[in-house]
Structure 1
């Protein structure tokens, strides 16, 4: 069976889906209404959750993210004038987030 997929949007999700489908041998085309200059000139997806980081690595497109991104194990919030730390790694069984503005 021959499968063809059209992906609407060349943002991080659309581009990642296109790469994953390509690696699986599925023909796809990505349709974007903006110009290439507009898309390439914007910072996208500043904080990536663990699942997205894992997918980028699986797709073989994580080299730049791995070298330039910053792994965060938690966040600090200011609540009633006091700092409160949320330990994401402890609360999620070891998952972290990656701070990485994709350009």
Structure 2
């Protein structure tokens, strides 16, 4: 009969366990190209006393695994009224985001 200590088993399986770890979630990353192309208003420039100033974000539904395509929810909130529009989209490709925003504008 052969014997091995728990610490030796842990040491031998270290690399295999590392492969099974869930990697950190990767969401939207800021990029300098987008910063130059999109006009971003600060809170000081918002008029919160009238409708039309929106906060928009994507919520990922990847279930802990950010690899591949998975559903996203485009979440749009009017700052003044609190009105919320939620639109499910296929992934975060600009095509789907743009279509969801356009559809929401038509629904208003």
Alignment TM-score > 0.5, same fold:
no
TM-score (norm 1): 0.20
Rg larger in structure: 2
TM-score (norm 2): 0.20
Higher-strand-fraction structure: 1
Whose relative contact order is higher, 1 or 2, with alpha carbons under 8 Å and at least 6 apart? 1
